[in-house]
């Protein structure tokens, strides 16, 4: 299974495009659409959106692979998209060690939606706290999980 346009749009909207390297909320050096810089990767002069999309596609393949390896039950496209976004955002270890995955592999689909919403905390200034952007992202994942289409962002005219 591969991520759909709805899943890709969620990742792009949640991450936002940044042409210059920056530190994300967790302190990781990042660029483009949430691409964590690997050792030896440097983009001192920034990147184009086309390069960011290429990096995003590579990163998504990794997230898709992790979901494919860890999940042992059938999923809808929306459920797959929600989990790929979850793994893209939090990493495969978060899913691998979660009650969310245990519930899913036990076919407790309704519980998975509730578990998604619990992942809305991050460390800000050294303290764990609810992060509004994560809360919104988890809500968007839940919408995908339930199969409800996410309305596109309004286009300025």
Q: Residues with Cβ < 8 Å from 76, sequence gap 6 or more?
A: 147
* CB 32, CB 55: distance < 8 Å: yes
The yes-or-no answer on residue 15 being catalytic is yes
What's 71's DSSP letter? -
| Identified catalytic residue from 2, 5, 20, 24 | 24
Q: Which is catalytic among the residues 2, 5, 15, 103?
A: 15
Using CA atoms of 96, 100, 101, 105 in order, give the dihedral in degrees to the nearest 10: 170
Q: Strands 29-32 and 35-36, how do they pair?
A: antiparallel
Q: Give backbone dihedrals phi and psi of 34, rounded to 5 degrees, phi first.
A: 75, 20
Name beta bridge partners: 128. 123
Residues tagged active-site: 15, 24
């Amino acid at each position: 299974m591969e991520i759909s346009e709805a899943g890709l749009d969620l990742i792009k909207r949640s991450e936002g495009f940044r042409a210059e390297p920056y530190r994300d909320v967790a302190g990781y050096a990042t660029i483009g659409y949430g691409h964590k810089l690997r050792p030896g990767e440097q983009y001192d002069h920034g990147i184009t959106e086309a390069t960011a999309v290429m990096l995003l596609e590579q990163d998504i393949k990794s997230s898709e692979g992790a979901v494919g390896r860890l999940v042992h039950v059938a999923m809808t496209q929306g459920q797959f998209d929600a989990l790929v976004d979850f793994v893209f955002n939090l990493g495969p270890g978060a899913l691998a060690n979660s009650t969310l995955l245990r519930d899913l592999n036990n076919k407790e689909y309704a519980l998975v939606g509730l578990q998604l919403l619990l992942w809305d905390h991050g460390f800000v200034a050294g303290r764990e706290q609810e992060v509004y952007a994560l809360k919104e992202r988890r809500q968007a994942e839940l919408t995908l999980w339930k199969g409800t289409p996410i309305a596109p962002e309004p286009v300025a005219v």
